[in-house]
A = this chain, B = another copy of it.
Amino acid sequence: MIFSRKTDYGLRALMYLAERRARGPVTLSEIAEKLMIPKAFLSKILQQLAKKGVVRSLKGPSGGFVLAVEPAEVTLQEILTEIDGPTRVFECFATEADCTFYSDCMMREVFGEVEDQIGAVLARYTLADFRYTDKPADSTAGKA
């Protein structure tokens, strides 16, 4: 599986942050709770994203995370790369010496093509396409 839970968590968190952008930093706890993501784990993901510059993190009280990019400006491909590293479909593990096919390998070619196609799809979407809409007050909680 190319895209893991981490991918999912990270992307969802970014969607959430995109929505709250205007309203200042959002705490880890809030995101984790609303999105039902294990807090400690999400923390790691967000830290990573912070280092890559996708989000900004503010310490101290009234701190939290803020999206640092324009949602429509960052492609899904970029995001996934920052979370999971470049999308690798296959990696040739041999060298010229231990693979008969090395010098003219069809597989490397085809798998390269596959990777390109994936990239192409992923590049067509931006974070702005992934909208978070707040739940309309949980139905089990009596409202009316």
| Residues of chain B lying within 8 A (CB to CB) of residue A107 | 8, 11, 130
Complexed CA–CA distance, A125 and B106 (Å) = 10
Number of copies: 2
| Cβ-neighbour of A118 out of B1, B76, B114 (below 8 A) | B114
Interface centre among A3, A91, A130 (most CB of B within 10 A): A3
Tally of chain A residues near chain B (CB < 8 A): 40
Interface locus among A22-30, A57-65, A93-101: A93-101
Query: Measured between C-beta atoms, what is the minimum distance from A79 to chain B in Å?
Result: 11
Nearest 7 pairs of A and B residues by beta carbon:
A3-B90, A117-B117, A106-B130, A2-B89, A36-B98, A114-B121, A114-B118
